[in-house]
Amino acid sequence: MPWELAERLANVDYQTRMALVATCEQFGEEDILAVARYEGNLPGEPDLADVAIVVEDRYQGRGLGTLLLERLVAYARTHGIRVFRATVYHDNAPMKRIIRRSGLPIESRVESGVWEIRMKLKELRQNLIASQ
């Protein structure tokens, strides 16, 4: 990974670029299990941000991606972001499931087997938080 990209991914400005992580301490070391991040400040679309979620394979299917997306949406809304854009490969069923579970209104289009999904950041259903 080029240094410039690694630096951009590792740093946030808490406004147009934000990341949330889920961690677990094991054997005295803290491991990152999942990351959800957005990056906005896109030319001509100040209220739009690209979003990505990555969950370590061993921890998929446990709700970490859904939880991080809910919290990231809540944070983004308070910082002027109104739409998340995700690029999802057609075979990425876990990411499509996270987006569906969010309850956010979506618009999507497919091009060359890749979905571009836009999620409007309205109030989320309290599906995960209410069940705890």
pLDDT score for 128: 43
pLDDT score for 10: 78
Residue ranges in the chain whose pLDDT is less than 50: 127-132
Helices (H), 33-120: 64-77, 93-102
Q: pTM for the full model?
A: 0.84
**What domains, with CATH codes, occur in the chain?**
3-123 (3.40.630.30)
For residue 121, the 8-state DSSP code is: -
Look-up of token digits 């990152």: 32
pLDDT score for 59: 93
pLDDT score for 123: 58
- Give the distance, in angstroms, between the CA of residue 32 and the centroid of all CA atoms in the same chain: 15
pLDDT score for 108: 93
